[in-house]
Amino acid sequence: MSDFPRWKYALVALVMLFGIIYALPNAFPPVPAVQVTANRDAPPINQAVQQKVEAALTAKKIAVTDVFVEGDHLLATFANSDVQKSGADEIKAALGDGYTVAFKLQSNVPGWLGAIGARSMPLGLDLQGGVHFLMQVDQKDAIEKQENSYADDIRSLLRDKNIRYESVTRSAASGQGIAVILRSDADRKTASDAIANEYTDLNVADGASTGDRFVLNVVIKPEKLRELSRSAITQNLGTLRNRINALGVSEPLIQQQGDSRIVVELAGVQDPTEAKKLIGAVATLQYRPGIGQPGDARAVEAARTGNIPPDANLYYMRGDNRPVLVSKQIIVTGNQLVDASSGIDQQSGTPKVDVTLNAAGAKKMGDFTNANVGKPMAVLYVEQVYETKVIDGKEVRVPKVTETVINDATIQSPFSKQFQTTGLGSAKEASDLALLLKGGALAAPMDIVEEGVIGASLGQDNIDKGFKAVLLGLTLVLLAAAIYYKLFGLVADIALFFNLVILVAVMSLIGVTLTMPGVAGIVLTLGMAIDANVLICERVREELRNGSSPHASIRAGYEKAWSTILDANVTHLIAALALTTMGTGAIKGFGVTLMIGILTSLFTSVTLTHAFTAAIHGHRKLKTLSV
Amino acid sequence: MEIFNHDSNIHFLGMRKYSIAIAIFLMVASIALIAVKGLNYGMQFNGGVSMVVDYQQSVDIADVRAALDKGGLDHAMVQSLGGTREVSIRLQPKDDPAATDASGKFNLDRISADVIKVLQAARPDAKLKSRDFVTAEVGAELRSDGTVAAVFVILGIMAYLWIRFERRFAIAAVFTEVHDTLVTLGVLALVQREFDMTVLASVLAVIGYSINDKVVVFDRIRELFRLARKAEPEEILNRSINNTLSRTIITSLFTGITMGALYFFGGTAVHGFAITMLIGIVVGTLSSIFVASPILLWLGVSKKDLMPVTKENPELARRP
């Protein structure tokens, strides 16, 4: 007699099969590889590049497992990460600046497993090594920028409408709006109406008026401010994604955290400096009218005395540090730039960056160059990085702005949409600049508030230890259960083993990133999963003691234990759910593991053991039970 | 095989005055310990200094750690930066009291100078490459997230038990929950174990474990009340604890074994997690046996609260 329906046997068999297949990819550890992608202006990846890479590696006697072209990139796999590093250096040297060379962990999973969607769990930073950044978006800056642009717009609006004004200035304190000072009350009325009509995102209110100064206070509406903050972070996320993709990191994690933070995790990257330079920098170009040539008498005089003409700024040329005067007027900024690519100027043989502007930028550039042929135009490179300093014992983040003129040349002929910037120091500099410009501008500067580097060796060490702990914990519990509950213990052991397999399968399928806290969660789940079987076994023992027959004891054991198991697991699940939804980082990873583990253990420790028990005992007459 | 006498009839409820007194004492002591000694928050909570040190020749991480230990900076985190000549060192300023001024502020230059001095004493080719603050701002957020999570867990569990069992069970469970969490934190404060993210996760997992443990006993109480013809609450509670005693202890042992494996072989990254969980398992098991049921008794649990509601008989439903 068996009270276990056939379809349940089938279900158990199916789930076990599913677990084995989808957990399997984790048995194939990925191999260290180097990925080469061509930059925009370099010849695409082909056989020739492959031969070049192979030749370079053979020449230096670096053992490479395989070199092959896959889609638009080339992959070279190595036996271990040390060889991988020297291999990457060699490839970089051999191919030059036209290619991005990045570290990658190449999956080693057989094709048929990949075809049915089975893949191995991605490993977290702590198990693989890599860098972690937490970045704070300076939304104040985005708002200030917006206020500045509104101030410009208001000025031109007043000019267009022929309203005489004294000044339009952004308040010194950020977020305080723009003060428009007019000459008469009537002007103020017309101006107020004009601004309110033209810009619906602005609130206009009359301010104090003294004598002939009539103040109009213009502030950005709160909902627009909120939208600005939101879009600042979205734009930064997008920009970061572009820049990091350009780095060639496989599976980067770029995530918004809270209202103003972005988390970036780059697994496999070991040198944070390079990554930091690229993701943290706010670089933009400004095209401005030049005043004289670099190093001419006026500029030298201004640098010496500090007397700078009111409409000009004094900068220095990148490279040779000659002083140069540049007009304050901005023709076009990096925001109006659509595309940028680096290359070598055919005529001079120096590195260049080709720039394409959007329609608005092209019009301004066209107007300016048409009217100013033969006059100089300067290209200003503005880079902003944040530094943390201690001022009066307080940590203060100070933006450090570097402004250098990278090019100041005479306009030969009018141009608008497309043109090139020359005068860059090296091909590397040109490609870096192109990358920064192409990646788009950050809406607001970002500041790295937390930075961590986890060594690859530590990752391997963690994997080994975690594996050992899981294995040892599992073995001990399996042994203890078999000794304490005999045959029922053995069945529980099978269930526990499959719980691990199915847990790993589900985590792999969902794509949960495995971290060290996740491993701890797995171990804890294994320890607690046996609880359901302890409950069942103790119940069966009780029933036997009360004089029930073996079959009745099994049935009553499972029936009575079920409600307890359900209550206990649901409450536990509530706890795990809270960890998953409220927690961040390590806590979240742990919570997800725990939650999946509770669900899989519910199945394995109840249904799976029941199937085995029924299969063993179901069709036999029993006198005793081994429990 | 059986370790526990299945006929055990220890009068746990008889010791309720003592067990509750001890539980309350432990809670008060824990609150006092947390208030006075405080939790030893790790760098994720408190911030600190992060340094990159360059060596001319390759260096072993273990040697760097040994050098720092010798110089009295024994809580520093040392990691290799990919190659063999560069290491990242992170430490909290409190590890280097000399670098903190009277008002508790610390001096980045001073700390990095101290660290590099200590390292150069062991290896003269050590050179400071960069140093930075790691801000604590993040920590405050994590801390409040953790608190929110804990409150949410407790409320969620309370609601579930209220629906599935009865109000008194929910109250008793939450009280013991708070007790278990507080005492676990109290032990951590006492031994001044570093409180980091994994420990926070572990404390939250302790809540899950301990509620699991209590629900099993509660379930048996409900069952026995429903079965018993003449239900003397004290006797029912006592029998429930005794009946589930072997399961309570066996499960603790099994979970304890896995956490022990994690502690001894899982590496330093999960030490905090495993030890916190072990503390929590001991506290949770003891409170399941000695604390949860006496509270139920005091709250006045009785047979009629637990009988399944029969909707068929409207006459019955109308009775008080």
Q: Calculate how close chain A gets to B247, using CA atoms only, in Å.
A: 6
- Which has the minimum average pLDDT: A285-299, A306-320, A395-409? A395-409
Contact A575 B256 (CB under 8 A): no
Structural element, H or E, at residue A295: none
Residue B211 sits at the chain A interface (C-beta within 8 Å) = yes
Q: Given the DSSP bridges, would you call strands A31-38 and A99-106 parallel, antiparallel or unpaired?
A: antiparallel
**Closest CA relative to residue A133, chosen from A278, A277, A264, A266:** A264
Contact (CB, 8 A) for A213 and A181? yes
The mean pLDDT of B97-124, rounded to a whole number, is 74
Distance of CA A333 to the CA centre of its chain: 26
**Per DSSP, what are the bridge partners of residue A257?**
A261
Chain B's closest residue to A523, CA to CA, is B258
Q: Given the DSSP bridges, would you call strands B194-195 and B40-41 parallel, antiparallel or unpaired?
A: parallel
Does pLDDT of A101 surpass 60? yes
Q: How many residues does chain B have?
A: 320
3-state secondary structure of A247: helix
Q: Which of A325-339, B25-39, B43-57, B226-240 has the highest mean pLDDT?
A: B25-39
Determine what percent of chain A falls in helix, strand and coil, rounding each to the nearest 5: 50, 25, 25
pLDDT score, position A508: 92
Q: Which residues of A touch B198 (CB under 8 A)?
A: 516-517, 520, 586, 590
CA distance B23 to B25: 5
DSSP structural state of residue A161: T
pLDDT one-digit tens code per residue, A189-229: 888 998 888 888 888 888 887 778 888 888 888 888 888 78
The mean pLDDT of A342-349, rounded to a whole number, is 80
Q: Which residues of A touch B253 (CB under 8 A)?
A: 480
* HSE-up (13 A, CA, CB side) for residue A250: 21
Q: Which of A274-278, B113-117, B143-147 has the highest mean pLDDT?
A: B113-117
Chain A's closest residue to B260, CA to CA, is A473
CA distance B125 to B55: 5
Which residue type occupies A156? Answer: S
* A-interface mutation test, from B258, B268, B306, most A Cβ less than 10 A away: B258
The mean pLDDT of B148-175, rounded to a whole number, is 88
Residue A371 burial by Cβ neighbours in a 10 Å radius (0-12, 13-18, 19+): exposed
φ, ψ of residue A419 to 5 degrees: the values are -160, 175
CA distance A32 to A40: 26
Question: What confidence tier does B96 reach under pLDDT thresholds 50, 70, 90?
Answer: low
User: Tokens 């723009």 sit at which residue?
Assistant: A178
User: Tokens 């500099």 sit at which residue?
Assistant: A429
SS (H, E, C) A15-41: HHHHHHHHHHHHHCCCEEEEEEEECCC
CA distance B320 to B309: 13
Distance of CA A598 to the CA centre of its chain: 30
pLDDT score, position B92: 77
Q: Calculate how close chain B gets to A260, using CA atoms only, in Å.
A: 12
| Pair of tokens at residue A150 | 């509104």
pLDDT score, position B83: 59
Contact A270 B211 (CB under 8 A): no
A439 or A204, greater pLDDT: A204
**Closest CA relative to residue B199, chosen from B214, B210, B187, B211:** B187
Does pLDDT of B182 surpass 70? yes
Does pLDDT of A81 surpass 80? no
Q: Calculate how close chain B gets to A589, using CA atoms only, in Å.
A: 10
Q: Calculate how close chain B gets to A566, using CA atoms only, in Å.
A: 10
CA distance A229 to A260: 8
Q: Which residues of B touch A270 (CB under 8 A)?
A: 81-83
The DSSP line for chain B is --SS-TT----GGGGHHHHHHHHHHHHHHHHHHHHHT--EE-HHHH-EEEEEEEESS---HHHHHHHHHHTT-TT-EEEE-SSSSEEEEEE-GGG-GGGB-TTS-B-HHHHHHHHHHHHHHH-TTEEEEEEEEE-SHHHHHHHHHHHHHHHHHHHHHHHHHHHHT-HHHHHHHHHHHHHHHHHHHHHHHHHT-EE-HHHHHHHHHHHHHHHHHHHHHHHHHHHHHHH-SS--HHHHHHHHHHHHHHHHHHHHHHHHHHHHHHHHHS-GGGHHHHHHHHHHHHHHHHHHHHTHHHHHHHTT--HHHHSPPPSS-HHHHH--
pLDDT score, position A362: 84
Structural element, H or E, at residue A220: strand A213-220
SS (H, E, C) B20-36: HHHHHHHHHHHHHHHHH
Question: What confidence tier does B22 reach under pLDDT thresholds 50, 70, 90?
Answer: very high
**Closest CA relative to residue B274, chosen from B216, B193, B214, B215:** B193
Does pLDDT of A299 surpass 50? yes
CA distance A381 to A388: 23
Structural element, H or E, at residue A529: helix A516-545
φ, ψ of residue A391 to 5 degrees: the values are -120, 120
DSSP structural state of residue A45: P
The mean pLDDT of A279-299, rounded to a whole number, is 78
CA distance A182 to B211: 70
66-85 in B: which are within 8 Å (CB) of A?
79-83
Does pLDDT of B311 surpass 60? no
Does pLDDT of A172 surpass 80? no
Question: What confidence tier does A618 reach under pLDDT thresholds 50, 70, 90?
Answer: confident
User: Tokens 């508790």 sit at which residue?
Assistant: B104
227-256 in B: which are within 8 Å (CB) of A?
243-244, 246-247, 250-251, 253-256
CA distance A150 to A178: 8
Contact (CB, 8 A) for A423 and A407? yes
Q: Which residues of A touch B107 (CB under 8 A)?
A: 390
pLDDT score, position B214: 93
Contact (CB, 8 A) for A405 and A316? yes
| Pair of tokens at residue B247 | 């399961």
Question: What confidence tier does B169 reach under pLDDT thresholds 50, 70, 90?
Answer: very high
CA distance A228 to A125: 33
406-465 in A: which are within 8 Å (CB) of B?
449-458, 461-462, 465
What does the CA dihedral B102, B103, B105, B106 come to, rounded to 10 degrees? Answer: 0
pLDDT score, position A626: 84
Residue B265 sits at the chain A interface (C-beta within 8 Å) = yes
* A-interface mutation test, from B212, B246, B276, most A Cβ less than 10 A away: B212
pLDDT one-digit tens code per residue, B222-261: 999 988 888 788 999 999 999 999 999 999 999 999 999 9
CA distance A306 to A300: 10
CA distance A367 to A377: 13
| Pair of tokens at residue A534 | 């302890």
Does pLDDT of A579 surpass 90? no
**Cα–Cα distances in angstroms (integers) from residue B54 to residues A129, A274, A278, in the given order:** 19, 17, 22
Question: What confidence tier does B315 reach under pLDDT thresholds 50, 70, 90?
Answer: low
Residue B128 sits at the chain A interface (C-beta within 8 Å) = no
- Complex ipTM tops 0.95: no
- Which has the minimum average pLDDT: A264-278, B24-38, B194-208? A264-278
pLDDT one-digit tens code per residue, A2-22: 568 889 999 999 999 999 999
Task: Collect all residues with Cβ–Cβ distance below 8 Å to A534 and sequence separation of at least 6.
Answer: B247, B250, B251, B254
Residue B8 sits at the chain A interface (C-beta within 8 Å) = no
Task: Collect all residues with Cβ–Cβ distance below 8 Å to B66 and sequence separation of at least 6.
Answer: B122
Question: What confidence tier does B105 reach under pLDDT thresholds 50, 70, 90?
Answer: low
- Whole-model pTM? 0.72
φ, ψ of residue A623 to 5 degrees: the values are -100, -40
Task: Collect all residues with Cβ–Cβ distance below 8 Å to A174 and sequence separation of at least 6.
Answer: A140, A143, A144, A147
| Pair of tokens at residue A561 | 């234990």
Closest Cβ–Cβ partner in B202, B205, B212 for A568: B212
3-state secondary structure of A391: strand
| Pair of tokens at residue A382 | 């503005």
Q: Which residues of B touch A533 (CB under 8 A)?
A: none
pLDDT one-digit tens code per residue, A441-459: 666 777 777 777 776 667 7
pLDDT score, position A1: 42
B29 or A517, greater pLDDT: B29
119-158 in A: which are within 8 Å (CB) of B?
126, 129, 134
Question: What confidence tier does B106 reach under pLDDT thresholds 50, 70, 90?
Answer: low
Contact (CB, 8 A) for A142 and A228? yes
Does pLDDT of A158 surpass 60? yes
Closest Cβ–Cβ partner in B90, B215, B254 for A530: B254
Contact (CB, 8 A) for A501 and A539? no
Q: Which residues of A touch B270 (CB under 8 A)?
A: 466, 469, 516-517, 519-520
